[in-house]
Structure 1
Amino acid sequence: MSDHGSDTSDSKAALAPHIRLNSGQHDPSQTVDGYAPLTSRTFPRPLTPQGPDMPTPIGAQGISPYGASAAPESSEFLLPPRLRPTQGAGVSDSDTPRSPDRWSAGRSSISSISRESTFPLDPFQDSRAPSQNSNEDHDVNTQTVSEKFNIMPTDGLLLFPEDVEKDDYMHNPDPMDKDRDCDIWNRRGVMNLGGLLVLTIGILVLFIGYPLITWLSNVLQPKAGVCHPADTLCLDVGDRPLLSNVRQSLIDPDTPDEALTKKNANGKEMKLVFSDEFNVPGRTFFAEDDPFFEAVDLWYGVTADKEWYDPDAVTTADGTLQLRFDHFENHELEYRSGMVQSWNKLCFKGGRLEASMSLPGDGHVEGFWPGFWAMGNLGRPGYAATTDGMWPYSYHDGCDAGITPNQSATDGLNWLPGMRLPGCACDGSDHPTPGKARSAPEIDVIEGSTAPLYGDSGPFVGSASQSLQTAPFDLWYMPDYDFAAVYDDRVTEINSYRGGVYQQAMSALTNLNHRWYNGSQYQTYSMEYTPGAEGEITWFVGPEKTWTIDGRAIGPNGNIGQRMIPLEPMSLVMNMGMADNFAPQNHTIREFMPALLRFDYVRIYQDPDDESVTCDPPGYETTKYIEQHRKAYDNANYTNWDDAGYHWPKNSYMHECPSN
């Protein structure tokens, strides 16, 4: 035994193989007698994940690759293991003694196999399996191993039955599995089926059932009134459909084709530039409800009216605009009515303003004050601060006594505070268009009243007052009627009322048919005008001209200059009032309440060569000035310009300042 061990030691020293490390994974510093123990080395396995430990194939001590305590799962193997070739058929190790040199050479390559082990060599259990060439002079390295053995993986190759992916049960069902029975009559099936059924029914009810039920309920059930008949504080104005008031153009689509043109008083054809037929029922006219009109919410204090103007009193029905006058106490007033304006929304300059109307009540009973008129846009009707020093001026651009307070008269002819925006305002003053006289004149298409048919002793009939309001005033409020004309003195006469301390009124009265009242029949009332000093105004009842006034009738007179046929852009007004200073009330007037002032349509015609449907015509702009003084234009409680926090601009005539 000692001799054999000595020979082995000498052979080891003389024939030890030369090992080249080209894998970069062997650490020579950890070797003992030139060999690293397997248990101290671990190698990563980049090709497949490491599996759990498995028991060794032999009871005492199995082959432990890479120094692991146990062999990894078979999914780590790339090829089936091949047994080491035997030394000869039918020859065992006990029959053929091992050469010491051969064994020592094998140990230099197979550090993981103990000397006592007889298990066949497996290149897959050790990455450095011995070369099949037993020549001791042959160097052993990882490169020679890779050349002799196929260690590259094969795509899609499963080597062992246990080498399966974790989700293979989804792709390779077990053919031995028994098909499941289709049985919905269990707890889970009933819940699934019931949920689908409830969801389906809900969708059908939401998108089919509910709309159908709503439609049937509206058709089958008669609509009850919103208000109880005994509830006097409830006002039923009917249905108000949303967005039905939106207009796409200035001309109403319901306007008949034959109304698109009309000849003026001089025979020239005019073009329709605006119309409203009021055929859509249930329209409302609260602020911002309508693109062209707005119903005001105020007391018209400048004429000491007896009613409160309320937007609730205005609506459309039966193809008409209706202003309702009620004996309805509110705001400490006895009556309630409506006023509709197009202020700062719809303006026009020149042309023909026309409306088809049916007046309220009865022609022989006085007390109602229906009106259809136009005012310069710089004054807002009912907002006294905006008309302070503006209404009813319509003056030339020069400066004289006519712009001063009281017209510089001491005899009580004029109580006006003077003209706020004359043409001679000082440079840099608060003026919309310096160098031009600006104001808020008024033209009345009709103010309804009553008058005796044959003088003071005759029966009363309906009467239409058609007038121009202006300032400053002629002496005794008397214009030059040589430049006025009445076309049929049997039905029309110059009004004996010519004005007062607040306005000069040039007016004519025309008798009306009693059938043109209370919705029985409708009649058209209109006026045509040409702006300027040489312009004129002509009024109509029906197709007939009633009277005309020329600009020369209000020319220079004494210490005042030319009054103008209005040059301002005009907004239109429709209202139904009651005031003692216009018409005293007959004691039977309440028999006609509630009374309705009806408008079948409103139309504006203009010369095709001179169209102007804007609140900002060149040289007479208004909207910017209004926006800069919203406090006065939005609050009807201010009664003069100073109360609203603004100051009158100074002028060169009174204050000796430079002016354009």
Structure 2
Amino acid sequence: MSFSMERLVVIALLIQFCTFNLVASDWIDPDTPEEAKTTQPLTVTPYFVRKTAPKEDSDSKKEKNETKAPTTAAPTFAPTIKPTPFPTYSSHKYELVFSEEFNTPDRTFEDGTDPRWTSLEKNDYTNDALHYYSTSNARTKDGSLVIKTEASDTDVVGFDDVKRKNTHVTKHFKSAMLQTWNKFCFTGGIIEAEVELPGKHNVGGLWPAFWLLGNLARHTYVGSSEHIWPWSSGVCTTKSFSAQHISACREVGHYGMLPHVGRGSPEMDIFEVQPGDIKANNGPFLRSSVGQPFMSASFQVAPGLSNFRPGPGYWPGPGQWYTGLVGGKNTSLNVGFYGNYNHFRGDPHPEKSDYWSDAISYNRQLDASHFNGSHTYRLEWDVPTAEKDGYLHWFLDGELVLAINGTGVATAGEGSEISSEPSYIILNTAVSKQWGFPIQCPAGCECKEFDCHSSNYSAQCGFSPGFCKMMLEGDPEYKINSIRVYQNPDFEEQKVGCSTPERPTRRYIEGHADLYKEDKDERPLKSIQQGRGNCRPGVTNNARDICGGAEHGTCTRGKVCECKKGWTGPHCLASAGYNTIEWDVPDSIADLGFIPPSMFPRALLIGLLLIIVAFFLAMQLRSRLGGWTPIPEVDTKPRSWRGPS
């Protein structure tokens, strides 16, 4: 017996709906090699150098001027920071939960085109930025994500979030920033990337970065960051009551948040790289054993130490900084930057609402090889729980850069802790006069204009030597070969998702959507377009014109892409990615007050599916029976038999 097409469609839709959570894809790139799908935490091995007593001869004086102290010690005989004990190794196996291999060429990352990444198309008002972020400056090529920085003009007319008024400026540099904000986030685990840095190692001016930020703040949308960045505090204090937007002092939780739980957006910089040619023990690095080029590994957190802070450029005295810091080979405490004093115009009581944020940071010496080839940068993030304070460990090519013991952060007395916020990934190259530019303007230079194409001395004199020559000879490229995130399935505190039961963000973001978008945007993020991009098979070898190739999609007769299973985006270039466990589903029964179990039992779900299918089959059979002409009833009552007359 045959079924109507409508019935079959309904049954197929029911099967797809009921099995969605069972067969849902995850965030793992299908190109990730099998051997890269597990890892283990690395052993933290502190680097120590034996100190020798100073001598009075000239040779020893020359040695004395070269800082050979361990990374946790000052290059003088001042007191050093004493490390505190912390766990250094765990034999637990970590499993891959997210990966990007960037093997598919010609991918771009405009809003609405990629399930993982969003490339910004907007001005950057932060950190004295000299650049404009353009989606056209990020593309996959030769097996890598390439972020290109160029000396190119962009006229910007719009609202300045910092100056709080409409402005018209010309940015003389273009670059790119990619974010996984509100798409892919994770809480705890291991993240690493294989990277080749942009530009030249000895020419200052570029600011490449690879970092994590709590999902409650969207970088460059500064309204979302006020009194949110970089808070990581779960205790109620006089300062947090006034300065932390969502503090543990709240008796009632709003937007699905728990009462008495402080929230924020701490920052974990896997690296911020500063190229240049200023050596250690010179100029701004006079008291540091690390000079340019270097990477900074940092945990930026609030509330910061409010009293008795070390001064910029000087080593901290006893009790002035955090304990539990251990550095590796060729590293030094970042004495040039201890954090920020955060003040926001319009706050009615700044004496109460202003706050310090701290940068717990170490610098690691780099060299030309990091700009001419790939190296692996890694962060291991252990989330604090009721039983432990957590930790952060940074590594470069498997060697320790910095280890932060969460106990040292928690016992500093201000209420800060290692981050427990769902955090997203950011990749970008910035150009800022705050980073790698001359600290003092040259004689006769006002350092007000920075334009490599200008013939005026005043527009070029503020750059580092060789910067404009480098930019005009070719556009520097920041190349990311792969990014991978691992978690331990046995640790309940480690989760994938931007809005988790312990740290929800969805309703807050929806309730404050204007803070996370520009006026021209209808919503913070567009829905991901699946297929329907224009294609031209046989015209070019561009992956967009062939819908990614036979494995990704096909070009229809209407010359638009139709994606195959597991691929998405207008031209089917991105592997589908989404959470296998949705902790906070929009418009669900949970919004009415009933919290369903996070994972529906597989056997029960399959059984329910079979019952539904059986029900539809029975209904179909009954319908067909109802359409038959009934057989006339036959009287079978026996009649009396008559014999022959």
TM-score normalised by L of structure 2: 0.55
1:258 pairs, out of 35, 53, 73, with 35
Mapping 1:219-258, distance limit 5 Å:
248-258=25-35
The answer to whether the 8 A contact 1:421-1:431 is kept is no
Aligned to 1:539: 394
Aligned to 2:368: 514
Mapping 1:336-375, distance limit 5 Å:
336-375=174-213
The answer to whether the 8 A contact 2:322-2:412 is kept is no
Post-superposition offset of 1:267: 4.0
Aligned to 1:485: 326
The answer to whether the 8 A contact 1:484-1:550 is kept is yes
- 2:233 is the counterpart of 1:380: no
Which residue identity is paired with 2:362? A
SS at match of 1:301: coil
Mapping 1:71-220, distance limit 5 Å:
none
Higher RCO (CA-CA < 8 Å; seq separation 6+):
2
SS at match of 2:96: strand
Aligned to 2:236: 399
Mapping 1:45-60, distance limit 5 Å:
none
2:482 pairs, out of 580, 601, 615, with 601
TM-score normalised by L of structure 1: 0.54
Which whole-Å CA distance do the structure 2 matches of 1:636 and 1:463 have between them?
38
Post-superposition offset of 1:496: 3.6
Aligned to 2:418: 565
Q: Report which stretch shifted further, 321-330 or 606-615.
A: 606-615
- 2:430 is the counterpart of 1:577: yes
SS at match of 2:364: strand
The answer to whether the 8 A contact 1:382-1:636 is kept is no
Superimposed CA distance per residue, residues 419-472 of structure 1 (whole angstroms, 9 cap, x where no aligned partner): 110022253756733321111110000001036444217996421100000111
SS at match of 1:437: coil
- 2:305 is the counterpart of 1:305: no
Post-superposition offset of 1:607: 1.3
Q: Report which stretch shifted further, 460-469 or 325-334.
A: 460-469
- 2:267 is the counterpart of 1:442: yes
CA distance 1:273–1:401, change in 2 (3 Å) = same
Which whole-Å CA distance do the structure 1 matches of 2:281 and 2:409 have between them?
29
The answer to whether the 8 A contact 2:280-2:292 is kept is no
Which whole-Å CA distance do the structure 2 matches of 1:428 and 1:262 have between them?
38
Aligned to 1:497: 337
Post-superposition offset of 1:296: 0.8
Post-superposition offset of 1:248: 4.7
5+ residue gaps, structure 1: 1-246, 406-417, 639-660
CA distance 1:460–1:507, change in 2 (3 Å) = closer
2:465 pairs, out of 580, 583, 587, with 587
Which residue identity is paired with 1:607? N
Post-superposition offset of 1:477: 4.3
Which whole-Å CA distance do the structure 1 matches of 2:362 and 2:117 have between them?
28
Which whole-Å CA distance do the structure 2 matches of 1:388 and 1:435 have between them?
20
Post-superposition offset of 1:591: 2.4
Which whole-Å CA distance do the structure 1 matches of 2:239 and 2:520 have between them?
28
- 2:496 is the counterpart of 1:613: yes
1:622 pairs, out of 498, 505, 523, with 505
CA distance 1:476–1:465, change in 2 (3 Å) = farther
Which whole-Å CA distance do the structure 1 matches of 2:325 and 2:481 have between them?
31
SS at match of 2:239: helix
SS at match of 2:35: helix
1:528 pairs, out of 364, 380, 386, with 380
CA distance 1:460–1:529, change in 2 (3 Å) = closer
- 2:113 is the counterpart of 1:289: yes
2:293 pairs, out of 442, 462, 475, with 462
The answer to whether the 8 A contact 1:495-1:509 is kept is no
Aligned to 2:410: 555
Which whole-Å CA distance do the structure 2 matches of 1:285 and 1:544 have between them?
33
Aligned to 1:18: none
The answer to whether the 8 A contact 2:322-2:409 is kept is no
Superimposed CA distance per residue, residues 40-94 of structure 1 (whole angstroms, 9 cap, x where no aligned partner): xxxxxxxxxxxxxxxxxxxxxxxxxxxxxxxxxxxxxxxxxxxxxxxxxxxxxxx
CA distance 1:529–1:283, change in 2 (3 Å) = same
Which whole-Å CA distance do the structure 2 matches of 1:428 and 1:467 have between them?
31
1:271 pairs, out of 95, 99, 103, with 95
Post-superposition offset of 1:391: 0.2
5+ residue gaps, structure 2: 1-23, 43-88, 156-169, 311-319, 343-356, 438-462, 522-645
Which whole-Å CA distance do the structure 1 matches of 2:308 and 2:195 have between them?
34
- 2:238 is the counterpart of 1:421: no
Which whole-Å CA distance do the structure 1 matches of 2:488 and 2:143 have between them?
28
SS at match of 2:326: strand
CA distance 1:344–1:429, change in 2 (3 Å) = closer
CA distance 1:597–1:477, change in 2 (3 Å) = farther
The answer to whether the 8 A contact 1:477-1:504 is kept is no
Aligned to 2:628: none
Superposition CA RMSD, Å: 2.3
Aligned to 1:471: 302
Which whole-Å CA distance do the structure 2 matches of 1:473 and 1:636 have between them?
33
Superimposed CA distance per residue, residues 603-652 of structure 1 (whole angstroms, 9 cap, x where no aligned partner): 101112124111122221112221222122112799xxxxxxxxxxxxxx
Superimposed CA distance per residue, residues 298-347 of structure 1 (whole angstroms, 9 cap, x where no aligned partner): 22212120000011111100100011101001021111100000000000
Which residue identity is paired with 2:28? I
CA distance 1:302–1:433, change in 2 (3 Å) = farther
SS at match of 1:509: strand
The answer to whether the 8 A contact 1:314-1:324 is kept is yes
Structure with bigger gyration radius: 1
SS at match of 1:482: coil
Which residue identity is paired with 2:340? G
SS at match of 2:224: helix
Post-superposition offset of 1:364: 1.0
The answer to whether the 8 A contact 2:153-2:172 is kept is yes
Matched-pair identity in %? 28
Which whole-Å CA distance do the structure 1 matches of 2:423 and 2:407 have between them?
21
Which residue identity is paired with 2:499? D
The answer to whether the 8 A contact 1:492-1:546 is kept is no
Which whole-Å CA distance do the structure 2 matches of 1:342 and 1:636 have between them?
21
Superimposed CA distance per residue, residues 470-529 of structure 1 (whole angstroms, 9 cap, x where no aligned partner): 1111134466443111122x3444444211213310100001131221xx3101111111
Post-superposition offset of 1:557: 4.5
Which whole-Å CA distance do the structure 2 matches of 1:349 and 1:536 have between them?
13
Which residue identity is paired with 2:187? K
CA distance 1:319–1:471, change in 2 (3 Å) = same
Post-superposition offset of 1:578: 1.1
CA distance 1:425–1:635, change in 2 (3 Å) = farther
Aligned to 2:516: 633
Which whole-Å CA distance do the structure 2 matches of 1:310 and 1:566 have between them?
30
SS at match of 1:303: coil
The answer to whether the 8 A contact 2:266-2:300 is kept is yes
CA distance 1:354–1:427, change in 2 (3 Å) = same
Which residue identity is paired with 2:26? S
The answer to whether the 8 A contact 2:269-2:298 is kept is yes
Which whole-Å CA distance do the structure 1 matches of 2:321 and 2:291 have between them?
30
The answer to whether the 8 A contact 1:277-1:602 is kept is yes
